[in-house]
């Protein structure tokens, strides 16, 4: 890969409704966060990173839209099953779906990754077929005994899926809708594979929760869109789905889980919530921008205090790259730890920072550790006792 700045066009039209959007956050240039390097000397291309908002349907979207194949190739290093918290989350979700499903129901999970959710549904008596564009995770799911298709849900795949499996009683998407370039088009394709009285369950990271925690590190090229309940309801309505129930979940720093039915209206409780979030939506861009500015000030002070000392990171996630590229130029990392075997031995696409096992990171005896995977702090912090650990968000601060 050659070094360079790709002049990708700013995606000015809204991906959900097609009207003009306005820029609300500019994080500068960043490489594709999940494209980890095999050779630290490689100089990956960078692309503009930031957000714009549509005033018509409320969707918040990435400034540039990179091709799906570029973002989610067979090398995609994220595997759901690696985190105990993620496994637990899917198990809870599967239980909730099972309560609302008829006996013998068959489900389709879009974005099925390594089959973690498929296995969770199977434990609750629901057979679940998976579909995912990333070959690596799909192969792992297949080895675990799951039936999974490698591809995306388009017209052709909808025909193939229903010919081979019949119509589905349940379709689930967890953290998928934000990653597709045309969310309404995907929702319309779901109509082609779902029974008319079927259940559609969607989880998306919440835009208002992101803003509330100042988590601008959730902005990376793979996240095409950020949904509030309002913009999610708008997109679902365009595809002929109504939200029957919504609940907040803790994943991804705060997410929305919605249960939808075809050819139905949004429930009165959902309508009330949409009305109630109106003010928060209008102030969100200014609040997030202020948080980003405050973060840069804290990091500069940290970088100054750590000059001459060794600092390591924990969590080689996409969000790590966003933080490093947008605002952590003053902090030099010796290495970053991660538990995922698919990442260890590779390098972050910024400054060629090596990714090592947690034990290998601790063996370097760093003076400070930045816990980039701050959303998993309850799981990881106990393993770092006795070390000077800092969390970047919600505030850049010492963890204990």
Contact footprint for Zn ion (CB under 5 A):
14, 16-17, 54, 56-57, 59
Tell me how far, at minimum, the Cβ of 194 lies from Zn ion, in Å. 24
3-state helix, strand, coil in the chain (%, to 5): 40, 25, 35
Q: Round to whole Å and give the CA distance between 236 and 242.
A: 7
Comparing C-alpha atoms, which of 22, 363, 98, 249 is closest to residue 258?
A: 249
What are the DSSP calls for 143-170, one per residue?
Answer: HTT--EEES--SHHHHHHHHHHH--EEE
Q: Which residue in this structure is represented by tokens 């698919």?
A: 342
DSSP annotation of 294: H
Between 211 and 362, name the residue whose CB sits nearer to Zn ion: 211
DSSP annotation of 28: E
Tell me how far, at minimum, the Cβ of 214 lies from Zn ion, in Å. 24
Q: Round to whole Å and give the CA distance between 264 and 243.
A: 8
**Which runs of consecutive H residues, i.e. helices, occur in 175-220?**
183-193, 207-212
Tell me how far, at minimum, the Cβ of 155 lies from Zn ion, in Å. 24
Q: Helix (H, G, I), strand (E, B), or coil: what is residue 278?
A: helix
**CA torsion angle for 207, 28, 352, 379 (degrees, to 10)?**
-20
Between 206 and 375, name the residue whose CB sits nearer to Zn ion: 206
Between 57 and 211, name the residue whose CB sits nearer to Zn ion: 57
Between 57 and 337, name the residue whose CB sits nearer to Zn ion: 57
Q: Edge to edge, what strands does the sheet with 311-314 contain? A: 355-356, 333-337, 311-314, 368-371, 389-391, 397-398
Between 17 and 152, name the residue whose CB sits nearer to Zn ion: 17
Between 20 and 294, name the residue whose CB sits nearer to Zn ion: 20
User: What tokens were used for 37?
Assistant: 């390097």
Tell me how far, at minimum, the Cβ of 340 lies from Zn ion, in Å. 35
Tell me how far, at minimum, the Cβ of 375 lies from Zn ion, in Å. 28
User: What tokens were used for 209?
Assistant: 């929760």
CA 360 to chain centre: 27
CB 195 within 8 A of CB 291: no
Buried b (16+ CB within 10 A) or exposed e, 59-72: bbbbbbbbeeeebb
Between 16 and 33, name the residue whose CB sits nearer to Zn ion: 16
Q: Round to whole Å and give the CA distance between 86 and 250.
A: 11
Tell me how far, at minimum, the Cβ of 231 lies from Zn ion, in Å. 7
Between 77 and 183, name the residue whose CB sits nearer to Zn ion: 183
Tell me how far, at minimum, the Cβ of 7 lies from Zn ion, in Å. 25
Between 224 and 319, name the residue whose CB sits nearer to Zn ion: 224
Between 54 and 284, name the residue whose CB sits nearer to Zn ion: 54
Beta strand ranges found along 229-332 (DSSP E): 241-249, 255-262, 311-314
Tell me how far, at minimum, the Cβ of 311 lies from Zn ion, in Å. 41
Tell me how far, at minimum, the Cβ of 55 lies from Zn ion, in Å. 8
Q: Round to whole Å and give the CA distance between 30 and 209.
A: 23
Tell me how far, at minimum, the Cβ of 184 lies from Zn ion, in Å. 10
């Amino acid at each position: 890969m050659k070094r360079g700045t790709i002049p990708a066009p700013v995606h000015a039209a809204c991906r959900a409704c097609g009207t003009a959007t306005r820029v609300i956050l500019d994080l500068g240039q960043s490489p594709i966060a999940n494209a980890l390097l095999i050779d630290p000397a490689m100089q990956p291309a960078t692309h503009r990173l930031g957000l714009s908002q549509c005033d018509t349907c409320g969707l918040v979207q990435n400034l540039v839209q990179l091709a799906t194949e570029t973002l989610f190739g067979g090398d995609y290093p994220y595997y759901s099953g690696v985190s105990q918290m993620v496994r637990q989350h899917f198990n809870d979700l599967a239980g909730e779906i099972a309560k609302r499903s008829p006996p013998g129901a068959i489900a389709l999970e879009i974005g099925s990754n390594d089959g973690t959710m498929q296995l969770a549904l199977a434990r609750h008596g629901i057979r679940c077929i998976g579909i995912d564009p990333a070959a690596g995770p799909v192969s792992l799911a297949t080895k675990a005994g799951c039936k999974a298709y490698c591809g995306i849900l388009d017209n052709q795949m909808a025909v193939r899926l229903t010919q081979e499996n019949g119509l589905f009683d349940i379709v689930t998407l967890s953290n998928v809708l934000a990653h597709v370039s045309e969310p309404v088009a995907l929702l319309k394709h779901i109509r082609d594979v779902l029974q008319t009285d079927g259940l559609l369950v969607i989880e998306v990271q919440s835009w208002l929760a992101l803003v509330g925690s100042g988590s601008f590190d959730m902005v990376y090229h793979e996240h095409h869109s950020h949904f509030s309940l309002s913009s999610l309801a708008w997109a679902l309505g365009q595809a002929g789905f109504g939200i029957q129930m919504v609940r907040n979940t803790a994943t991804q720093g705060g997410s929305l889980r919605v249960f939808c039915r075809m050819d139905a209206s949004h429930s009165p409780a959902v309508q009330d919530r949409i009305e109630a979030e109106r003010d928060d939506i209008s102030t969100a861009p200014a609040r997030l921008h202020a948080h980003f500015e405050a973060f840069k000030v804290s990091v500069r002070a940290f970088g100054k205090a750590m000059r001459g000392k060794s600092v390591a990171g924990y969590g080689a996630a996409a969000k790590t790259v966003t933080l490093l590229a947008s605002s952590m130029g003053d902090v030099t990392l010796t290495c970053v730890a991660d538990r995922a075997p698919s990442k260890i031995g590779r390098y972050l696409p910024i400054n060629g920072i090596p990714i090592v096992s947690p034990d290998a990171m601790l063996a370097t005896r760093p003076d400070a550790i930045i816990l980039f995977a701050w959303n998993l702090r309850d799981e990881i912090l106990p393993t770092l006792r006795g070390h000077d650990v800092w969390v970047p968000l919600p505030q850049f601060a010492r963890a204990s």
